[in-house]
């Protein structure tokens, strides 16, 4: 069964350090999402890609966060420098029907970040 792969599963870092998360969506899925989920809250969209293009990054803190999907396949989310408030689960999801609005999002297991 096809899955969304994410790494690392867990990351502990000190504030002001750089961190990076990687996501490999299900093959053929054109739409890729990065969500941040703070403990006890719902997922919040950080950035959405359609193929290699960013279609929504309105909630991405661009002074410290960056995301890319260079060949329209896998994606990297980077934080530099990390702050204490960045501690959260970072979820990647993909969809094959992103342009219709009806598509199921397939999620990876997430990357849990702890900033000390």
Partner 1 sequence: AQSVTQLGSHVSVSEGALVLLRCNYSSSVPPYLFWYVQYPNQGLQLLLKYTSAATLVKGINGFEAEFKKSETSFHLTKPSAHMSDAAEYFCAVSEAGGYQKVTFGTGTKLQVIP
Residue placing its CB nearer to partner 1 in the complex, 81 or 89 = 89
Beta strands in 5-52 (DSSP E): 5-7, 10-13, 19-24, 31-37, 44-50
Stretch that binds partner 1, among 13-21, 64-72, 80-88, 92-100 (CB under 8 A): 92-100
Stretch that binds partner 1, among 14-22, 42-50, 61-69, 71-79 (CB under 8 A): 42-50
User: Does residue 25 interact with partner 1 by CB under 8 A?
Assistant: no
Q: Find residue 5's DSSP bridge partners.
A: 24
d(CA 99, CA 52) in angstroms, rounded, equals 14
- Would you call 46 exposed, middle or buried from its count of C-beta atoms within 10 A (0-12, 13-18, 19+)? buried
d(CA 90, CA 38) in angstroms, rounded, equals 9
Question: Binding residue for partner 1 (CB under 8 A) from 41, 83, 114, 116?
Answer: 41
d(CA 76, CA 44) in angstroms, rounded, equals 17
Residue placing its CB nearer to partner 1 in the complex, 60 or 91 = 91
User: Does residue 48 interact with partner 1 by CB under 8 A?
Assistant: yes
Residue placing its CB nearer to partner 1 in the complex, 81 or 107 = 107
Site residues (vs partner 1, CB under 8 A): 4, 31, 33, 35, 40-45, 48, 50, 55-56, 91, 93, 95, 97-105, 107-110, 112
């Amino acid at each position: 069964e096809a899955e969304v792969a994410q790494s690392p599963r867990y990351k502990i870092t000190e504030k002001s350090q750089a961190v990076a998360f990687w996501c490999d969506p299900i093959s053929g899925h054109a739409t890729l999402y990065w969500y941040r989920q703070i403990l006890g809250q719902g997922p919040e969209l950080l950035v959405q890609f359609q193929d290699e293009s960013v279609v929504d990054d309105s909630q991405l803190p661009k002074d410290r966060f960056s995301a890319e999907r260079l060949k329209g396949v896998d994606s990297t989310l980077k934080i530099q420098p990390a702050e204490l408030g960045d501690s959260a689960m970072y979820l990647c999801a993909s969809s094959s029907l992103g342009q219709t609005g009806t598509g199921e999002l397939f999620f990876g297991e997430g990357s849990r970040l702890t900033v000390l």
